[in-house]
Amino acid sequence: MIKIKPGILGNLYAYKMYARPTARRLYGEFSYRKKEIPKHHENIQRMLHVLAIHGPQTTWGMAKVELANDTSKIRAREKQYRKFLVGRDDRGRHSLGVLETGLVVIDGKNMLKTPANIYRLSIYGILYCLDVLDLTNKEIDMMAERYRNVIPGIFGRWEYLKKTIGRDVYRLRLLAKGLFLDNIQTTKIAKMPVYEILTYLSTKYLDNFEHIEESDLAEQISCWYYTQLLIPRDSHKKNSVVEYHQWYKLITKGDKDLKEMYQRFLDEVTEFYESRFKIVKKLKRL
């Protein structure tokens, strides 16, 4: 199986098949807030939690946030965070840091006093936090505000989405768990051609398994997000999570840029299937 090079992001399928299982193996598949887990997993999760809620930080800033009431331990925790970020070598064996697994990226430098790197969650890091850290809705709201420029198609419209579709805005958790990305069962449980649309989406980014620009990954996630709202919450009912008239209003009425973005995407879907269908019609004449 092809693997992602350390520190490089791939498409959503790469997240589902490689990045997610790797992160869960290295840093835990259960939240430190729900059950006792290995100390290393807990420490990594705490660091990611700080970045999720408070946004981009230096290692010193992360340590200050976590240990606000115990300043005597800040320097030691900062050194620990540095090791978590870059990994460690022990008896000739290297353990991957969160920079190498792609959960965190460098987001510039803080030039006050001694220059220091500023770190933030990558899209993979955001998805891992949604998947594992058991974030509350309020914490997801805070993360959306901090990372509105990373996934502008969703987080940049967060308040509009909350106002329009309510708690269904938090269905981004489903993607973090790898659900509905390529699930053929959606053909049985949804009236709308969700499977066909998401199949095209996977096809569009098929060549980006090993590498994708973060902005393109954000676009792929945004297209997935607005499409999956048409999947029923209850598999025994074919009504979508967001009623169609509500979904239509969401896409077309309140945000001109959203309408144009999703319309371009649907135009691509239509063109893709029309060209394929022409081939099928030719085959029928054999």
Answer yes or no: are the C-beta atoms of 165 and 255 closer than 8 Å: no
Token duo for residue 133: 């850290």
* Residue 39: strand pairing partners: none
What pLDDT is recorded for position 213?
95
Lowest model confidence (mean pLDDT) among 15-19, 189-193, 236-240: 236-240
Q: pLDDT at residue 135 above 90?
A: yes
Which H or E run includes 104?
A: strand 104-110
* Residue 120: strand pairing partners: 105
**How sure is the predictor about 2, in pLDDT bands with cuts at 50, 70 and 90?**
very low
**Nearest-10 crossing angle of helices 256-284, 214-228:** 80
pLDDT digits (tens, 9 = 90+) for 95-134: 788 999 999 999 999 887 778 999 999 999 999 999 999 9
Q: pLDDT at residue 6 above 80?
A: no
Q: Residue 115: is it exposed, middle or buried by C-beta count within 10 angstroms (0-12/13-18/19+)? A: exposed
**How sure is the predictor about 178, in pLDDT bands with cuts at 50, 70 and 90?**
confident
**Nearest-10 crossing angle of helices 39-54, 137-146:** 60
pLDDT digits (tens, 9 = 90+) for 202-217: 999 999 999 999 999 9
Architecture of domain 12-127: Orthogonal Bundle (1.10)
Q: pLDDT at residue 175 above 70?
A: yes
Answer yes or no: are the C-beta atoms of 216 and 250 closer than 8 Å: no
Q: How many CA atoms lie within 13 A of 221 on its CB side?
A: 30
CA–CA distances in Å: residue 138 to residues 32, 76, 98, 160, 191: 18, 30, 25, 16, 32
**How sure is the predictor about 1, in pLDDT bands with cuts at 50, 70 and 90?**
very low
**Separation between Cα atoms, residue 174 and residue 94, nearest integer Å:** 32
Token duo for residue 271: 């063109």
pLDDT digits (tens, 9 = 90+) for 42-90: 999 999 999 999 999 999 999 999 887 777 788 899 999 999 998 877 7
Q: Per-domain residue ranges for the chain?
A: 12-127, 153-278
pLDDT digits (tens, 9 = 90+) for 234-283: 555 555 556 778 888 899 888 999 999 999 999 999 999 999 988 888 88
